[in-house]
Structure formats: C-alpha cells, structure tokens
C-alpha cells in the first residue's frame, strides 16, 4: 500500500489546500510542501531496495472484469521520475510562494499544482496501462488549469486551449494504441506486457498500435509537427513553466517511450518514426530558439529541441543510446528547471523578459547571473557541467548511426543541432547578464530573496556535482535506470569528463566554436531569419480550428434548427439504421438473426385485456397530443398497466418501482404543465405525420421483432443463473434484484444516481432564471388565463396529509430495511419518502412546507452520491473491487439475530439522492410562477434581449481584446 499512499499524497494535499483556502498564503505553501516532501521521503526510503533490484508492488483489484486494476509498481525508471516529480515539485512550491503576487490565489494555484503532481506520479508508477491512461488524461486537464491560471490574459486562455486540444487529441490516439497493445499481449499490466516482446512485434496490429502510441507520446512531448503548443503554454506563470514544461509533463511522452522501449524498439518502423521525428524536432526547435527575444520563448523552444534529442536517442533503438537518453533526462531536468526559474527571477525583478531590453545584469544581480550562467553553460554542453557529459554521449551515438544508408546525415544533423544549442545558450548569457548596463530597465534590477534564488541554486549545485563527479554521483544510478529501460543488463560504460580524442569530442568542439560565431554575428543571422518566409504553426493551428468549428456549425445548424421534431426524426432514424446494421452483421456472424423455437406461454384473458389497454392508451396519447392534460392521464394509465404486467410476471420490485415512479413523475409533470402554453403550436403537415408514422412503425416493429427473437431462443447459460445462485452467498441477500443493484451491478446504480442528481441540477439551472425577464413575462401571460380553484388547500386534504406523513415515512423505512431480502430497497424507499413530501406540498402549500424544511436539497443530493461513493471506496481499503459488499450476522438484545450488510449504506446514498432530486425538481417547478409574479416579469440584467444581443457580443469581444483591461498583453 506504500505506492498507493505515495500516489495519493498529492491529491490529499490538494484537498487540504482547498479546505484551507481562506488561510494565509504561507499556510498553503506549507501544506503543499509538507505533502510533497512526505511523498518524496517515502520514495527515497524505497530507493535502496529498488536500486538493488527489488521491484516495489502494490496491487488492488478495481474492475478486474475489463482488466482495469489499481496496480502500481516502482522500478528504477519509476523511481527516477518520481524523484524528479517530487523533488523539483518541492522546489517549485517554495519558488511559487515568493513568485506569485498578492493578487494571485495561491490556494487555487497550489491546488492545481498538486493535482498535476499526483497525476504525473500516477503515470510513472502505474502497472496497469488503463490506469495509466486515467492519469494521462488528468495531466492534460490539470495542466490546462495551470496554463490558463491567469485567465484574464488572452494569451493564457489560448495557450491553455491549445495545449488541451493537442495533448487531448493525442491522448485519444494513445487510448486506442494502448488498448491494442494490451489485447496483443493478453494483459493490461505493464509488467506482463514488457515480457511479450516477440508476440507484440510479430502481431499484424503492431504497426497500428505503434503509430497510435507514438501519436500520444509525440503530442505530449511536443514533437514536430505538434511542437507549437509548448511555446504558447509559456503564458502560464513561470513556476508552471519550470515544472510542467521542463521536468514533468513534457517528459511524460519520453517516459512512455522509455517504459515501452523493451517491447516496441528494435524494428525499422520504430527507428524511422521515432529517430527521424526526434532529429527533425531537435533541429527545428533549436533554430527557432536562437531567434526568440522572449526568454521564456527561447527556453520553450530549447525544451522542444532537447525533447527531440531524447526522442532521437530512444529512437536509435540501441542499448547505449538508451543509456544516453536516461542520463540526459536527469541533466535536462536540472539545468532547464533552473533556467526557467532564473528567467522568472529576471522578469520578476527587472520587469521584462525581452532580451533586447536586458543586458549588464551580472553586476546588478550577481547571484542570479551566476546561477543562470552555470545552467546555460550546461545547456550549451560546455565542460565541466552535466550537460556536456550527456551531449557527448548523444554525439557518440549519432556518429555511429546511419539513416537509409547515408552514414553522414545523422552525425551532421546532430552536430548542427548541438551548435545551435550552444548558440542560444550563449545568447541567453551574453544578452541578459553581460554587456553594458542600461538606463531604461522597467524596474531597478537587484537580486531577490532566497525564496526565489534558493530553489534554482539547489538544481545548479546538482548540475555542478554531476559534472565534476559523474562516476560517484550519477553513474550507479544511471546504470540501474538504464537496466530497467533496456530490460536487461546495460552495456559497459563509465561517466567521465575525458574519454580521449573521439569523434564526439570533435563534433562537440565544432558545436561550441560554431555557437560562439553565431553569437558574434547574431544580428545578421536574425535579419536573415526574419526575411525568410517561415510558416507560423500557431496561425496554421488557428486556421485549422476555425475550419473545424465552421464545419461543425454548418452541420449542427443543418440538423439543429430549433425544431424538436427534426431532431427526434434524425435521432430515431439513426438508431434504426444502427439497429438494422447490427441485425445484418449479427446475421452474417452467427448464421442468422431469427426467432428460436422455445415454447411460448399461453396468454390468459387478463393479459390480453391489459395488452389491449396498452394499445388503446398509446393510441389515445397520439390522438390527444394537443390536449396535454388528457395525454398525461393516458400516460399514467399506460404506466399503471405496465406495473400490473410486472406483478403478473412475478416481478414485485419492478412493480413497486414503476408505481412509485409513475406517481412522482405524474405529479411533477402536472406542475410542469403550468409552465407550458395552454394550446400547443400548430401541428405538423400531413406529410410529416406520415413520415413520423412510418418511422414509428419501423422502429416499433424492429424492437418487437428483436424482443421476440431473444425471448424465444433457448435459455442456455445466462448471467441470471449466476445472480440467482450467488445472491445469498455472495451478496448476503435473498432479493436477487436488490443484490444485483447494490452489489453485482452496483457501479451501474452508482452511475444512475449521479445522472439523477445531474438531471435535478439541470432542472434547477434551467428554471431558476425562468421567473425573470422575457420568460417571466411569458409565464405571467400564461397564468392570466388559468382558472384557479377557490379553495387552494382543502382542509380535509391538509389534515389527511399531515396524518399520512408519519405513516408514509414508516412505510418507506420498512421498505428500505427489507429491501435486501424482500421487495424494496433504497430507490423505492426514496420514492416513497418523496411521495410523502409531495403530499405535504400539495396539501398545505409550497410556502408552508418550505418554512418547515430544514435540509438543503442540494446537500441531500451531494450526501447521497458521496455516501454511495464512500461505501464503494471502502471495499478498496480491504483489497476488494470497488463497491464489493460484505455482510454479517449480529445478535442484539431483545431483538435477536439480525443481518447487516454494507450494501445498506449504499442504499442510503441511493435514497438520499432520489429524495434530493425529486425535492429540487418540485421546488423549481412549483416556484417558477411565484418568482415570476414577485418579479413582475421585470427585465433582469442577465437576461438576453434579442434587440441588444449584437451590442452585448461586441462589448464582450472588446473586453477580451488585447490591450483592454488590467494586465492585458498584446499577442506575440
């Protein structure tokens, strides 16, 4: 359970910060720091055993039927990434506490940060690829919140949307690829997949799975042509850039390539897809970085370039290249996070990140300049810093790699990329910290407090230590992690600043010398770059999104033109086409979709009469559709006949549910009739009637035929037999229906009560403003013609209702308690409780009942859903699948022996949700006209006036336009 605790600690920290949102900002930082540090300590406690070869494992069954389990494992690769996530995460928390202004919500920022931290930990520790996918999408969502943290800035909003669109789209491809990979390997557990290399690479699905997985990795790690989202994510606060875009999120794709390297690498397809993409990305990112004036933009494109370097190394498919990739992951995380924080210090203290407005800061900010210079020299690959070591390893591997038979292409491209990397690193140093002082700094430059320079200083110390003492500080660790990536013993290597006169050293010297030359002539190169017709990726993306939105609107407005009839026709026609296609496909696969020869049961006269009643009621509804009250009466008759059918078929649970639902829904619909016009709009044309009738007949005949075919087939082995046999020994109840609902199919029930709560909230959201503005005036107009009863609350009904209330509540409680073994349960009991409440509102009036209500309806829904969720999660603590119930027998004095099941708690949640949803719908339906009368149909500021809609839209657009409002920025 240690790994589960490590993964859960950041999420618990996010909850704790949210609960303490009104506390001082330092408290938020302390909470985030403590939870992060606690998880980091737990990881470090496991480090010795993991590095010695032991794999830490935590296994919890979640949904084993589909292969989704909460399985975690930590090997050296997971240990390395967990250490980076938590170690740098702790430094970012300290840095952010000093960086964020008083106007920024530290609670909101750190909550988002902890959510992201937990999602990243889940990715690197998951042993189940389906669980990994859950955390993968969580990183996309939490990074969206972090990138768009400064929502008042247009660039922040657009950068967040762009990141979510690109990484979310890649995530969809990754879902398909990993599911295919699991199907090929026969397991969704990574530890099993990593043993199935031969089966995976021999499968005809290998190319498809590989391409889909790489799409997910490339989009997350900003590889060409998906690289453009990362620089635009720099609109986020600098702590976000330093954490997400240098050390964690953008490394998720690289991590997954490293994790799956043993089973996916080694083929020509892998080499040409991965190595080529990495090489191209490395070159493009480095070229663009050299000519960026914004420091964060420069570092963003340099990150793109280094991510391309890592992708290229893992794409080579050789064991030594994998070792170099592992080592550079560590080095890049240290110097790049330090550089982002350094750029944030410059922006924070000088007031600008524009390199054209900087220079000469070394004398004014010596601490900041020293830290930035060392980190940038490491990024340039200059000895004796750690970046030099991994760059030498990269160049050595590139020197021995050919592409399509061309031996010089990869070494030449790698050397050019290294040269450009040195050039933009030197530019960062020279144009920011050196040169002559300026007299037009936006703010007087000075070194900040230790809260800002302390975190990057820790990383810079690691940069120096790894560079000077690589054999002592890094080599053993790199060997262990490389063994986990390779899936076996790594090749012999040793880390040292000097390996003699090698091709890599020559390539490195050319790169450094060329970088100095490009720095010297940067102005000329910059003018040449500006003159080139370079395509702008953002513009292409914006045009693509605009085209998709335009096409979607054309398609949507073509169907959804405000006509409910058209929407229903399209919906049902599509469903019928799918049904016919399924029947045809099923016929081809199984040899025919036909009725079976199972003996039917003769229908007694009562059943025939009931069937005729159903047909008559249905016809009556169709013929009287313009008389809404009469149609509602016929619908209630149909519901009652259906409940009688359940009684006849020995299904008392369904009969009770049907009767209760009919009672509640008919009463609510009666209230809803007051919000509708007395006379519906004019009916459709005869042609449309014929069209809809044909569609209805086809649909009804198809459903009827399918039901007949299923019911007349031989019974055979069905799941119902399992439910019947296991209801008592497995679920502790003799009412099979209730055991299915709260145990065997409890997850379905849990989803249904969530949907019920959402439906009630939707009714609240739709009807809450119904009494204001235009809608309020319409309601008042409808009410003018309604004849009201002279006696609004008859005395007999009032007295009877108050006498019925305690009896109805006792009946509901009785039905609730007996539900596990006899007809009843939480859903039916909730409906009975709701009917008891409805009677009070009907008998004594809305105001009288509201004055005596003590529980908030929204709280009832929340309590119900949370109670059901807590009951389900409780089983996880005992190593059982979610919502697994348990039961036992207990002796109570004077009562005797009774049976208690945990499903009782789940049923309480169901009942609470039902009561809350019904009461919320009742309140909104019953009170809408009252609110209209109180408001007098007056215009509310939030109501939309069609005559002023264009002006409102223009005002909204003007508000979001660049240069408007505090803190707005012009787009770059």
pLDDT tens digit string along 512-543?
999 999 888 888 888 887 777 777 777 788 88
Task: Give per-residue burial for 782-821: e unless 16+ CB within 10 Å, then b.
Answer: beeeeeeeeeeeeeeebeebeebeeebeebbeebbbebbb
- Judged against a pLDDT cut of 70, whether residue 948 lies above it is answered with no
Between 208 and 359, residue with greater pLDDT: 208
Between 74 and 674, residue with greater pLDDT: 74
Between 861 and 951, residue with greater pLDDT: 861
Contact 247, 84 (CB under 8 A): yes
- pLDDT tens digit sequence for 449-475: 898 999 999 999 999 999 999 888 888
- Judged against a pLDDT cut of 60, whether residue 175 lies above it is answered with yes
- Judged against a pLDDT cut of 80, whether residue 292 lies above it is answered with yes
Mean pLDDT, the chain, rounded, equals 85
Contact 375, 339 (CB under 8 A): yes
| Residue 925: per-residue pLDDT | 82
- Nearest Cα residue to 338 out of 215, 273, 241: 241
Residues in CB range of 274: below 8 A, 6 or more apart:
214, 257, 265, 311, 312, 314, 315
- pLDDT tens digit sequence for 559-610: 777 777 788 888 888 888 888 877 776 656 555 566 677 788 888 888 888 8
How far apart, in whole angstroms, are the C-alpha atoms of residue 262 and residue 196? 9
Q: How far is CA 842 from CA 205, 837, 847, 924, in A?
A: 63, 9, 11, 14
How far apart, in whole angstroms, are the C-alpha atoms of residue 369 and residue 342? 8
How far apart, in whole angstroms, are the C-alpha atoms of residue 340 and residue 243? 9
Which structure tokens are listed for 243?
């954490």
CATH assignment, 594-679+688-712: 1.10.287
| Residue 557: per-residue pLDDT | 80
- Judged against a pLDDT cut of 50, whether residue 758 lies above it is answered with yes
How far apart, in whole angstroms, are the C-alpha atoms of residue 3 and residue 668? 50
Q: What average pLDDT score do residues 745-752 get?
A: 89
Which structure tokens are listed for 719?
């799941």
Contact 377, 423 (CB under 8 A): no
Backbone angles phi, psi at 674, to 5 degrees: -70, -20
Give CA torsion, residues 31, 37, 43, 48, to 10 deg: -160
| Residue 947: per-residue pLDDT | 40
| Residue 589: per-residue pLDDT | 55
Q: Is 382 helix (H, G, I), strand (E, B) or coil?
A: coil
Q: Is 382 exposed, middle or buried (0-12, 13-18, 19+ CB in 10 A)?
A: buried
| Residue 258: per-residue pLDDT | 94
- pLDDT tens digit sequence for 322-374: 999 999 999 999 999 999 999 999 998 998 888 888 888 988 999 999 999 99
Q: What average pLDDT score do residues 183-200 get?
A: 91
Contact 73, 112 (CB under 8 A): no
* Bond into 225 cis (ω within 30): yes
- Judged against a pLDDT cut of 60, whether residue 58 lies above it is answered with yes
Outline which parts of the chain fall under CATH 1.10.287.
594-679+688-712
Q: Is 488 exposed, middle or buried (0-12, 13-18, 19+ CB in 10 A)?
A: exposed
Q: Is 683 exposed, middle or buried (0-12, 13-18, 19+ CB in 10 A)?
A: exposed
Q: What average pLDDT score do residues 135-152 get?
A: 90
| Residue 772: per-residue pLDDT | 66
Confidence of residue 678 (pLDDT cuts 50, 70, 90): low
Between 682 and 640, residue with greater pLDDT: 640
Among 196-200, 264-268, 658-662, 961-965, name the one with the lowest average pLDDT.
Answer: 961-965
Q: What average pLDDT score do residues 375-398 get?
A: 91
3-state secondary structure 394-463: HHHHHHCCCECCECCHHHHHHHHHHHHHHHHHHHHHHHHHCCCCCCCCCCCCCCCCHHHHHHHHHHHHHH
How far apart, in whole angstroms, are the C-alpha atoms of residue 422 and residue 376? 9
Backbone angles phi, psi at 947, to 5 degrees: -70, -20
- As a whole-number percent, the residues of the chain with pLDDT over 70 amount to 91
| Residue 831: per-residue pLDDT | 93
> Which DSSP symbol is given to 769?
G
- Judged against a pLDDT cut of 50, whether residue 953 lies above it is answered with no
Q: What average pLDDT score do residues 162-181 get?
A: 92
How far apart, in whole angstroms, are the C-alpha atoms of residue 302 and residue 375? 13
Confidence of residue 890 (pLDDT cuts 50, 70, 90): confident
- pLDDT tens digit sequence for 639-673: 888 998 888 888 888 899 999 999 999 888 888 88
- Write out the H or E segment, with its range, that includes residue 163: helix 154-185
Paired strand residues for 189: 128
Q: Is 505 exposed, middle or buried (0-12, 13-18, 19+ CB in 10 A)?
A: middle
Contact 790, 780 (CB under 8 A): no
Q: What average pLDDT score do residues 483-494 get?
A: 88
Between 491 and 775, residue with greater pLDDT: 491
| Residue 592: per-residue pLDDT | 55
Dihedral sign computed on CA atoms, order 579, 581, 582, 586:
positive
């Amino acid at each position: 359970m240690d790994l589960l605790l490590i993964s859960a600690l950041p999420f618990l920290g996010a909850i704790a910060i949210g609960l303490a949102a009104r506390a001082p900002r330092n408290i938020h930082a302390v909470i985030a720091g403590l939870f992060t540090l606690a998880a980091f300590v737990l990881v470090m406690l496991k480090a010795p055993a993991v590095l010695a070869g032991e794999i830490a494992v935590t296994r919890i069954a979640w949904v084993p039927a589909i292969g989704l389990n909460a399985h975690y494992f930590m090997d050296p690769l997971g240990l390395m990434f967990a250490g980076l996530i938590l170690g740098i995460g702790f430094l970012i928390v300290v840095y952010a506490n000093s960086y964020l202004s008083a106007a920024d919500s530290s609670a909101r920022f750190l909550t988002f940060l902890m959510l992201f931290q937990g999602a990243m930990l889940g990715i690197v520790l998951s042993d189940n690829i389906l669980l990994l996918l859950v955390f993968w999408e969580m990183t996309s969502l939490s990074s969206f919140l972090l990138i768009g943290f400064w929502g008042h800035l247009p660039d922040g909003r657009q950068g967040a949307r762009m990141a979510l669109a690109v990484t979310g789209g890649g995530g969809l491809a990754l879902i398909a690829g990993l599911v295919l990979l699991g199907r090929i390997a026969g397991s969704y557990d990574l530890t099993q997949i990593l043993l199935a290399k031969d089966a995976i690479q021999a499968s005809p699905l290998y190319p498809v799975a590989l391409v889909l997985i790489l799409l997910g990795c490339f989009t997350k790690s900003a590889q060409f042509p998906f690289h453009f989202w990362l620089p635009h994510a720099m609109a986020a606060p600098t702590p976000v850039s330093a954490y997400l875009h240098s050390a964690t999120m953008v490394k998720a794709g690289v991590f997954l390539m490293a994790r799956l390297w043993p089973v996916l690498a080694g083929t020509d397809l892998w080499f040409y897809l991965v190595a080529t993409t990495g090489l191209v990305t490395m070159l493009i990112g480095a070229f663009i970085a050299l000519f960026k004036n914004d420091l964060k933009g420069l570092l963003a494109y340099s990150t793109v370039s280094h991510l391309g370097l890592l992708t290229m190394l893992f794409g080579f498919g050789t064991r030594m290249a994998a070792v170099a990739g592992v080592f550079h992951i560590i080095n890049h995380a240290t110097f790049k996070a330090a550089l982002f924080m350094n750029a944030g210090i410059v922006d924070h203290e000088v007031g600008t990140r524009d390199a054209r407005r900087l220079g000469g800061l070394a004398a004014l900010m010596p601490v900041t300049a020293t830290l930035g210079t060392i980190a940038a020299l490491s990024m340039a690959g200059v000895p004796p810093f750690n970046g030099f070591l991994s760059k030498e390893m990269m160049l050595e591997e590139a020197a021995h790699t050919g592409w399509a038979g061309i031996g010089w292409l990869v070494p030449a491209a790698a050397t050019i990329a290294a040269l450009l990397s040195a050039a933009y690193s030197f530019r960062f140093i020279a144009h920011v910290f050196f040169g002559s002082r300026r007299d037009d700094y936006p703010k007087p430059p000075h070194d900040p407090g230790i809260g800002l320079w302390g975190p990057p200083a820790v990383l810079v110390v690691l940069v120096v230590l790894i560079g000077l003492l690589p054999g002592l500080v890094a080599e053993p660790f790199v060997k262990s992690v490389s063994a986990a990536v390779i899936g076996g013993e790594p090749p012999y290597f040793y880390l040292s600043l000097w390996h003699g006169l090698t091709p890599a050293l020559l390539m490195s010297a050319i790169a450094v010398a060329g970088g100095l030359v490009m720095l010297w002539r940067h102005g000329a190169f910059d003018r040449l770059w500006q003159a080139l017709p370079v395509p702008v990726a953002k513009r292409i993306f914006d045009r693509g999104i605009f085209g998709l939105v335009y096409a979607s609107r054309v398609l949507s407005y073509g169907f959804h033109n405000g006509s409910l009839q058209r929407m229903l026709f399209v919906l049902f026609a599509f469903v019928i086409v799918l049904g016919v296609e399924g029947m045809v496909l099923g016929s081809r696969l199984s040899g025919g979709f036909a009725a079976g020869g199972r003996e039917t049961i003769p229908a007694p006269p009562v059943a025939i009469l009931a069937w005729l009643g159903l047909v008559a009621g249905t016809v009556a509804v169709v013929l009287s559709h313009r008389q809404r009250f009469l149609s509602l009466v016929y619908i209630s008759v149909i519901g009652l006949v259906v409940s009688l059918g359940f009684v006849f078929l020995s299904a008392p649970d369904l009969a009770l549910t049907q009767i209760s639902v009919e009672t509640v829904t008919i009463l609510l619909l009666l209230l809803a009739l007051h919000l509708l016009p007395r006379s519906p709009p004019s009916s459709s044309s005869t042609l449309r009637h014929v069209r809809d009738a044909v569609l209805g007949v086809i649909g009804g005949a198809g459903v009827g035929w399918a039901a007949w075919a299923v019911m007349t087939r031989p019974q055979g082995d069905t799941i119902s037999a399992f439910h019947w046999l296991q209801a008592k020994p497995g679920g502790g109840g003799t009412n099979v229906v209730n055991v299915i609902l709260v145990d065997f199919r409890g997850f379905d029930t849990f989803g249904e009560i969530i949907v019920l709560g959402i439906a009630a909230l939707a009714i609240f959201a739709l009807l809450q403003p119904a009494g204001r503005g235009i809608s309020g005036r319409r309601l008042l107009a409808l009410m003018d013609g309604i004849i009201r009863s002279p006696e609004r609350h008859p005395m007999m009904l009032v007295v009877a209702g108050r006498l019925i209330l305690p009896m109805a509540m006792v009946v509901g409680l009785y039905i609730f308690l007996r539900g596990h073994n006899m007809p009843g349960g939480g859903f039916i009991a909730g409906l009975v409780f709701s009917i008891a409440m409805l009677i009070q509102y009907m008998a004594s009036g809305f105001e009288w009942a509201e004055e005596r209500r003590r529980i908030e309806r929204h709280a009832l829904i929340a309590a119900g859903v949370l109670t059901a969720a807590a009951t389900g999660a409780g089983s996880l603590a005992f190593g059982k699948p979610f919502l697994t119930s348990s039961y036992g027998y207990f002796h109570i004095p004077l009562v005797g022996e009774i049976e208690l099941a945990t499903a009782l708690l789940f049923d309480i949640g169901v009942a609470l949700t039902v009561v809350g949803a019904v009461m919320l719908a009742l309140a909104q339906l019953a009170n809408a006209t009252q609110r209209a009368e109180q408001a007098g149909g007056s215009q509310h500021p939030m109501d939309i006036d069609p005559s002023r809609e264009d002006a409102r839209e223009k005002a909204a657009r003007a508000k979001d336009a660049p240069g408007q409002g505090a803190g707005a920025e012009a787009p770059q």
